[in-house]
Amino acid sequence: MLKRSFFAVAALVLSLNVTAQGKELPDFTDLVDKQGAAVVNISTTQIIHADRGGQQYPFDENDPSFEFFRRFFPHQPGMPGVPGMPHDFENKSLGSGFIISSDGYVLTNAHVIDSADEVVVKLTDKREFKAKVIGADKRSDVALIKIEAGGLPTVKIGDSTKLKVGEWVVAIGSPFGFENSVTAGIVSAKGRSLPEENYVPFIQTDAAVNPGNSGGPLFNLKGEVIGINSQIYSRSGGFMGLSFAIPIDLAMDVQGQLRHGGKVHRGRLGVVIRDVTKDLADSFGLAKTEGAFVDSVEPGQPADKAGIMAGDVITRFDGKPISQSSDLPRAVGAARPGAQAQVQVWRKGATKDFTVTVAEMPDDKVLAQRGGKRGRGAEPAGNRLGLVLSELGADQRRELKVNGGLVVDDVRANGARFDLRAGDILLALIAKGNQTELRNVDQFNNLLAAMDKSAVFTLLIRRGESQSFVTIKGLGDKEN
């Protein structure tokens, strides 16, 4: 009898425990029913012009793959000697987005619509619309597009600052083209820093996100969007439990600027920083390894004018604590140019406060990209280095305190072998002991044209906040 009573009590306890656990598991059906209709599929088409001197090749002649395909696949489209080959090639890709206003404004990732000649938005009711790109901000990876439609379903915008690690989240999007796929997980971490992503404190989740989910919404259990699914960490190319979303508060600020001005304004301090290590903290008498160590201060910039010096450790900016170096670009970037901000630093064992007037971060070349079809066939050709260049504007020259300078807009196939990248600024060319300041594209291309293909020379470049030298050994026979 006692044994039977024991098993009865154990069964009751187990039943109650299962019931309690069952109550803790969320039901996402209502959220999906109410919010799913505002999630859209985005497909893009990029027209690739393969013109090479009147013949159409999908490969650059200097590409190592070219000779292989020419020999072993001579009759494939785009290879030399084959008549009637297509002049253009279409590159299609898929992504996701969500409607934020009933008159057709849609948020997505900048990388989803980057370089697209056509953007098509497909709703859950199967209607399709060509979209206009209002603007795209590559630094935050946020883009705003517009479709001509009315009375559309919209998402509810939440507050990502109230998000807690461990709470449930739901991702809706089009992984691999499977529209309105729903996945769930929890918030794994907040404020994540990713390589070369200085302006976004990412939300990390374990909700399954795959290619095609990019640009789709991340919901909390209230059915509010608290993030835009943007990236995954993967060794296989697929989901491995690490997904990253852009906080919706940041995204809404970016889209507001794109909608009303077509570009995003960010603050600039004019310092080169790095993390505070244990050795640095001990040397400077800091109790914790926190803050942003100032490696150098750019002359004439806000930090220099305010009195901030190399060797200072910035611990607060505009009232916000700077726990690690990646916190500072976010805080400064969020400040409006022209605004005054209080900066607290640790210097020689004591705390000091400075007031800075924030400058404006120089534009990226394609910081805000207006909608409308672009004539890609009219793009300038690369020079003998495989570089597409443009000249610095007067404001940029004043900002950088240089007399000339050429911006690298694109690096074509032949240029991939040199240590040059888009965004670099070429300041001077040094050859045979002579240094020539670079002032315009024609001047630089003429210098290259006069050189032998085996020429060796050095370029003085500016990359970010620092200058360096890149030595070029050997040029191609012709422009590419």
- Considering the candidates 96, 214, 243, 326, report the single residue annotated as catalytic: 214
Beta strands, E only, 63-215: 88-99, 105-108, 118-122, 128-130, 132-137, 142-146, 156-157, 168-173, 181-194, 197-205
Q: Would residue 214 show up in a list of annotated catalytic residues for this protein? A: yes
DSSP 418-438: SS--TT-EEEEEEETTEEEE-
Asked if 386 and 476 count as a contact pair (C-beta separation under 8 A), the reply is yes
Give strand pairing partners of 187: 205
Identify whether 304 is a catalytic site residue. Answer: no
The single residue of 60, 93, 140, 141 carrying the catalytic annotation is 141
Whether the CB-CB separation of 359 and 303 falls below 8 Å is answered with no
Choice among 49, 63, 111, 295 that is catalytic = 111
List the structure tokens of 59: 């490969």
Helical segments of 73-144, H only: 110-113
The verdict on whether 111 is a catalytic residue reads yes
DSSP E strand boundaries for 290-392: 292-297, 313-317, 320-321, 340-347, 350-357, 359-360, 387-391
Q: Which residues contact 104 (CB under 8 A, 6 or more apart)?
A: 129, 146, 147, 148, 149, 150, 152
Neighbours of 473 (CB within 10 A): 10
Q: How far apart are the first and last CA of the chain?
A: 91
User: Which residues are part of the catalytic machinery?
Assistant: 111, 141, 214
